[in-house]
Amino acid sequence: MKKQQIAFVLCLLAMLSGSQAWAAGDAKKGADVFAEECGDCHSTVAGKNKKGPSLNGVFSRKAGSVADFSGYSDAMKQSGITWNPEKIDAYITQPKKVVAGGKMKYDGLGDAAARGDVIAYLMSVK
């Protein structure tokens, strides 16, 4: 019985560690990555939109719902996404795959550690 419990816990930890690379992110590094990769088009200041909407308070927000941003694609508005760390990770990895027909002109960030840092940063700017 004890071996089964240990195996279960190990499987659970393996699943969690693989799907939550953002959990170990460094918000300070993420601020730098955000500035370099995202900052031309997005702000983290509430109410300050650029080419893209402000990402301040993005977590638990429905995609395409910033009231004072009018540049959303129909695909984004109809995506049904509610932003959480996993969805943001997937989106900034391959935006065109997650929201086919979206307007964001970004091919994606392949570095998982950098994505984790960006997500940690976004979590810090509520």
What are 108-119's pLDDT values in tens digits?
A: 999 999 999 999
Within a domain: 1: no
pLDDT score for 75: 98
- What distance in Å separates the CA atoms of residue 46 and residue 56, rounded to the nearest whole number? 5
- pLDDT tens per residue, range 69-84: 999 999 999 999 999 9
Helix (H, G, I), strand (E, B) or coil at 110: coil
Joined tokens for residue 40: 């031309």
First to last CA, the chain: 45
The reply to whether 13 falls in a domain is: no
In this structure, is residue 90 part of a structural domain?
yes
The answer, yes or no, to whether residue 95 has pLDDT greater than 50, is yes
Q: What is the structure's pLDDT at 126? A: 77
H-type helices in 1-126, by residue range?
Answer: 2-19, 27-37, 74-77, 85-93, 95-98, 112-124
Nearest Cα to Cα of residue 37 among 113, 108, 94: 108
Please report whether residue 4 resides in a domain: no
Q: What's the structural domain count of the chain?
A: 1
Structural domain contains residue 120: yes
Residue 9 lies in a domain: no
How much of the chain exceeds pLDDT 70, in percent?
A: 82
- Residue 51: domain span: 22-124
pTM assigned to the model: 0.81
Q: Which residues contact 4 (CB under 8 A, 6 or more apart)?
A: none
Q: Is pLDDT at 90 greater than 80 in this prediction?
A: yes
